[in-house]
Amino acid sequence: MRTAPTILHLDMDAFFASAEQAAKPSLRGKAVVVGGLGPRGVVATCSYEARVFGVHSAMPMAQARRLAPNAAYLVPRFGLYREISEQVMGLLRELSPLVEPLSLDEAFVDLEAGRTAWDEASARLTAGKLRADIRAVTGLTGSVGLAASKMLAKIASEQAKPDGLVLIEPGTERALLAPMSVRILPGVGPATGDHLRRGGISTVGEIAEAGEDELVRLLGKAHGGSLYAMALARDERPVVAERDTKSVSVEDTYDVDIHDRVRVRTEVQRLADRCVQRLRGAHLSGRTIVLKVRRYDFSTLTRSETLRGPTDDAAVVREAAARLLESVDTTGGVRLLGVGVSGLADYTQEDLFAQARVAAAEELQQAGGAAGAGAGAGSSGAGQEEAAEVVAEEPEPVVERQWRAGHDVRHAEFGHGWVQGSGLGRVTVRFETPGSGPGRVRTFRSDDSALEVAEPLPLVGRVPAVRGEG
């Protein structure tokens, strides 16, 4: 194991909720809960103000509402969170080529590999600068742990929360770990923790005292041996650089099961478009189109189709996803839909067959228009029948606009704001931006043509002013 604390673990503080508070001045310092707001929803994350009431991640949303009825409950904005995550990961990669992301808001960094730290003083200096840079670039805070191993660096960042820095000096690890619960060790979940407790082991120090043979007897050779080593502060796991993306996908879970087949098709087309946007944003293309459907009974089906070559053409992905949907029975209702692309490449091979189909469809449409004109001039009944067959299309479904709590909107008169709530044909909007003060609240008809969905504004930097404040 290393003799210097040159492994860094960063964990952003209450990431989703903190991003929402930074974006919405009226929520700063208040309880904020982010997650699914439907009857099946769970808490994705919550602000520290909400945690005071006992709310925590993975809690059913209904229980959170009982504990904190006056909190702000918002639907996640993953697009915004990913943008912030990319900014943070970019700062980490400036420190070292060895960055191991664990999620959008958490990562290990090998400072020694980047030659940005080699002893305690340089590691502390680098970590302090990183925290300042994160705040300057994103407006958010992150907690940092420094140690000679990944396990200890993660423990240190937990101790540093919120908005702190903790360095564990080499040589002090065993004394630090001894009084801690066994649950602090990687790989010890509720079941393993209960099993150890029944064996008379509740703390990390008691694992070390029990000895390796006893741990192997209780948990098996592999698990018991590794757990005993960790109790002695031995962790040789290296920081592994981010692996190449294997697939790109998007999915949505619906608060109420979708039964209308036309609505299901529309949602799949929308997801396909979003998937292609993400694919193009990563400068990738892919060969295999994947459809994911979770039905009313929680059974999950996946269907896939492999193309002749990689593509980033939205029409091709939509068409393939629609074909895959035809093989899935959605009669009982659908609670989740997803579209993904795998078999990725960093180039695009034109789908000549798709182009041919588009050209043929255009020719057919033109022929239909000509046939329709001929029929109007007195053509035969057979010609009229053929024309009707060509031009008859399924009408586009009218999909009601959804105003999700917390999501961005723009009004032609009042400017940028976010949805505070909606229902009964009305939508309530608070007009404010990250750079403004708390804004005013106004209510509109849900079909108001002056109101539209908007992209999130950057949390730091110049943003448009809110108009109409009087």
- Which residues make up each annotated binding site? 11, 105
DSSP string across 113-170: TTTS-SSHHHHHHHHHHHHHHHHHHHS--EEEEEESSHHHHHHHHHHH-SS-EEEPPT
Question: What sign for the dihedral angle of Cα 399, 403, 407, 413?
Answer: positive
3-state DSSP assignment of residue 90: helix
Amino acid in position 415: G
Q: State the binding site for Mg(2+).
A: 11, 105
Q: Token pair of 61, please?
A: 């949303």
- Any idea of the CA torsion for 378, 383, 384, 390, to the nearest 10 degrees? -140
Q: At what angle do helices 78-93 and 15-23 cross, to 10 degrees?
A: 110
Q: CA–CA separation, 312 vs 314, rounded Å?
A: 6
Given 106, 173, 319, 432, which residue is catalytic?
Answer: 106
Has 432 been annotated as catalytic?
Answer: no
Going from the C-alpha of 411 to that of each of 27, 254, 416, 427, 470, the distances in angstroms are 21, 26, 6, 12, 15
CA distance 270 to 328: 18
Q: How many helices (H) and strands (E) does the chain have?
A: 15, 17
- On whether the CB atoms of residues 110 and 6 are closer than 8 A, the answer is yes
Catalytic residue set: 106
